[in-house]
Amino acid sequence: METTDWRKVIASDDREFNYGEIYLIKDDLINFPESLFVGRTFHEVRPVVVTYHSVTNQNKRIWTINVAPISTQVDFRRDTDLLIDPAEGNYINRTSLIRLGLSQPVLKVDLEGPVGSLTRSQKLQLAALQMKLAGIVIPSGIVS
């Protein structure tokens, strides 16, 4: 008996996706390239954070969105990772890393939620890291 892949049938998504929102996705849909060389623990679902603030996030004809996975393995922190702590409303239950260097497109229909959102401070930290990684230098005194 043939089964239907509903992701192919229901490809559009009317939800609004906002920068810093946290969603859940099946863990096997997230790519960790280093897992080719070192072991990886797969979970049923993995939290991810929306990494772009773009009008395409609300366009149901655009099927993908860019997210970064969240990991509790903080001992492997890189300069492309943002360390975040639990805060009211952000869904995180222990200190974690936003693996910004592993940002990747996913299908919007594969995301469950939102289940939370980064705090204003965490969004600013994420944006600052994105700017730093893009080579943008902000003169002191401009951001307070």
Q: Which DSSP state fits 134?
A: T
Full-model pTM: 0.87
Average pLDDT over residues 25-40: 87
Q: Can you say whether the dihedral through the CA atoms of 124, 43, 29, 135 is positive or negative?
A: positive
Number of structural domains, the chain? Answer: 1
Residue at 29 is within a domain: yes
Taking only the tens place, the pLDDT of each residue in 116-128 is 999 999 999 999 9
Taking only the tens place, the pLDDT of each residue in 70-106 is 999 998 899 999 999 999 999 999 999 999 999 999 9
Three-state helix/strand/coil letters over 25-86: EEHHHCCCHHHHCCCCCCCCEEEEEECCCCHHHHCCCCCEEEEEEEECCHHHCCCCEEEECC
Taking only the tens place, the pLDDT of each residue in 8-17 is 666 678 899 9
Residue at 127 is within a domain: yes
b/e burial code for range 3-27 (CB count within 10 A of at least 16 → b): eeeeeeeeeebebebebbbbbbbeb
- CATH code for the domain of 125: 2.30.30.110
Residue at 141 is within a domain: no
Domain that holds residue 31: 6-133
Amino acid at 74: V
Residue at 121 is within a domain: yes
The C-alpha torsion from 47 through 131 and 33 to 49, rounded to 10°, is 10
Instruction: Report the pLDDT value the prediction gives residue 141, as an integer from 0 to 100.
Output: 65
Average pLDDT over residues 123-144: 84
Residue at 47 is within a domain: yes
Instruction: Report the pLDDT value the prediction gives residue 139, as an integer from 0 to 100.
Output: 75
Taking only the tens place, the pLDDT of each residue in 41-56 is 788 999 999 999 999 8
